[in-house]
Structure 1
Amino acid sequence: MSEQQGPLEQNQQEKTMSFIAMVILTGFFGGILWSGLAYIAYLFNFTNIRPNIILEPWALGDWKGQWLGTIISIIMIGIISIAAALLYYAVLRRFRSMWVGIGYGIVLFGLVFFILNPIFPGIRPFAELNRNTIITSICFYVLYGVFVGYSISYEENELRIRKKQEADVVA
């Protein structure tokens, strides 16, 4: 009783997700990972900025400062991070250097702390922030930039190599 329901398992190739889907997942996971770690840094007094800061301009009530607000904030940062990952994909994905990701993280830090600062009343002006908060925040933004940037650039390079190998096989 040998039933064969299609090609043998060993002959099937693993289905890969689309590149854009990988970028979206990388952005979402990166936002959740690094904002979650930033919250832990806040708990250990490395920074005075909580992830809940993202809710201040839009949400009313005390709940935003409690555990529910923290969870929702981290998820919202993950969703916003998708846009940052898509921006990296659109503009910088062809660069294979870690330094590009570091630069991207620094640019994001500057965007949040200098340009978007007035939107978030819980973040004091840059000159009034203490040294630990500045250093910790820069480090998290740089780590986020490297995480997202290197993941996307690596996948872009692997895709380029696969296409070249397929073209060489056909030719």
Structure 2
Amino acid sequence: MAEERERLEQNQREKPMSFMAMVVITGLIGGILWSGLAYLAYVFNFTEIRPNVILEPWTIGAWKEGWLGTMISILLIGGISIVAALIYYAALRKFQSIFVGAGYGVALFLLVFFILNPIFPGINPFWELERNTIITSICFYILFGVFVGYSISYEAQEIRCKTADEKKARTDPDLS
């Protein structure tokens, strides 16, 4: 009878998501969220850069300027953001500070606007951009960095604490 109850679906515990899966999902959601909001910033003239600039070097046709191009661009940025989240995971997950995430966002901004700028013909050189574009863009990069960084660092800290608690419980018989 007890074995039967344990097999029922309602009595099954859901297996927790792996840390790496959480990192990938965080990167994807962060990229989609912040590039979608950046598109809204473009619509409301806070920035002169559309998410569609990511398609310019690799695609031909006017379709990339329409809604399809915008949606594909936002999803593509989400995919690229997975790579950014994995880099944060590999290099910075041990630091649980909002400032580390913000610094990571600034580093990504500098990478895109200074080093990768020649790849994207739709982005003017940094010194020719409007002030609103620069401020809006750096804010979105900082928000992305904080979102991804703090999510990953928090989860890493939780796993470290859980592991330490389990280890302590195994070594200290009074806690069992």
**Is the TM value for this pair above 0.5?**
yes
For structure 1, which runs of at least 5 residues remain unmatched after alignment?
none
Please tell me the root mean square deviation across aligned C-alpha atoms, in Å.
1.9
Does the 8 A contact of 2:6 with 2:12 survive in 1? no
CA displacement 1:102-151 (0-9 Å, x = unmatched) = 00000000000000000000000000000000000000000000000000
1:169 Cα deviation after fit: 1.1
Question: Please, what TM-score do these two structures have when normalized by structure 2?
Answer: 0.92
Tell me the residue number matched to 1:112.
112
1:27 is matched by which residue type in structure 2?
G
Tell me the residue number matched to 2:163.
163
1:28 Cα deviation after fit: 0.4
The number of residue pairs the alignment matches comes to 171
**Aligned pair 1:18/2:12, yes or no?**
no
Question: Please, what TM-score do these two structures have when normalized by structure 1?
Answer: 0.95
1:67-78 equivalences in 2 (<5 Å): 67-78=67-78
Q: Against the structure 1 CA distance between its residues 105 and 2, is the aligned structure 2 distance closer, same or farther, given a 3 Å change threshold?
A: closer
For structure 2, which runs of at least 5 residues remain unmatched after alignment?
172-176
1:110 is matched by which residue type in structure 2?
L
Q: Against the structure 1 CA distance between its residues 132 and 33, is the aligned structure 2 distance closer, same or farther, given a 3 Å change threshold?
A: same
Tell me the residue number matched to 1:146.
146
1:31-70 equivalences in 2 (<5 Å): 31-70=31-70
1:25 is matched by which residue type in structure 2?
I
1:154 is matched by which residue type in structure 2?
Y
Q: Against the structure 1 CA distance between its residues 12 and 166, is the aligned structure 2 distance closer, same or farther, given a 3 Å change threshold?
A: farther
1:50 Cα deviation after fit: 0.3
**In 2: Cα distance, 1:47 partner to 1:92 partner:** 30
Q: Which moved more, 1:11-20 or 1:119-128?
A: 11-20
CA displacement 1:46-82 (0-9 Å, x = unmatched) = 0000000000000100000000000000000000000
2:21 is matched by which residue type in structure 1?
A
Segments ≥4 residues shifted beyond 6 Å:
8-11
1:99 Cα deviation after fit: 0.3
**Aligned pair 1:90/2:81, yes or no?**
no
**In 2: Cα distance, 1:157 partner to 1:11 partner:** 29
**In 2: Cα distance, 1:7 partner to 1:89 partner:** 36
1:3 Cα deviation after fit: 8.7
1:2 Cα deviation after fit: 9.5
SS for the counterpart of 1:94 is coil
1:11 Cα deviation after fit: 6.9
Give the fraction of aligned pairs with identical amino acids, expressed as a percent.
68
**In 2: Cα distance, 1:160 partner to 1:13 partner:** 22
